[in-house]
Amino acid sequence: MTLPFADKPDDSRVYTDLKTLDLSQLSQDQFNTLRQSMESQGVDGLEDEYRRMVLLQMASNQFSAGPLPDSKIVTGTITQDGVETEIFRPNKGEVWRLVVIAGQIFNRSGTIRQLFYFSDGSTDVNFLLFDAASTKFYPMSDADYPDAAIFVTHDTYLKIEASGTSGGTFDSINYYCVVIRER
């Protein structure tokens, strides 16, 4: 059954652009691309197209009202002392939740300080400071961040800086960030 008073499905931009794909093949990125192209075309019939898109997103398990079935471990390596390094920056329009950060320090001597930042490209805000005197570190414990919701976007992305304190040195640090895509 079609939407009441809506254009026929044959005239639908949603159905025309996605008709060759199975529901199981549709990704959130495809929905985002289609949504952006629809917004640039005005408002005639747009409400009906949005309804169709929501129905398809629900049917394909890609509805953006809650966490998407997408997560990953982002890895990065730091080799320079005192240099801020971008670790994770989502694509435009994406929102990811940072679950945990952990890492391993290679050829460490002394204490290594890690500063975790959010950056918008011009301003850095430190949200976590961690001093490691061992080769492995787990700075986001439940005691420090109980049920914390830390979101990363294209505009506020994650950077890390590592430096030796009181003569501490390292060859490299591998970082591991577990993230879940929210939108």
pLDDT digits (tens, 9 = 90+) for 28-45: 777 777 777 776 666 566
Topology (CATH level 3) of domain 71-181 = Jelly Rolls (2.60.120)
d(CA 81, CA 97): 27
So what's the pLDDT on residue 145? 61
pLDDT digits (tens, 9 = 90+) for 126-172: 888 878 777 777 666 656 665 667 889 999 999 988 888 878 888 99
| Global confidence as pTM | 0.59
**Among 60, 95, 62, 56, CA closest to 183:** 95
Structural domain spans, the chain: 9-59, 71-181
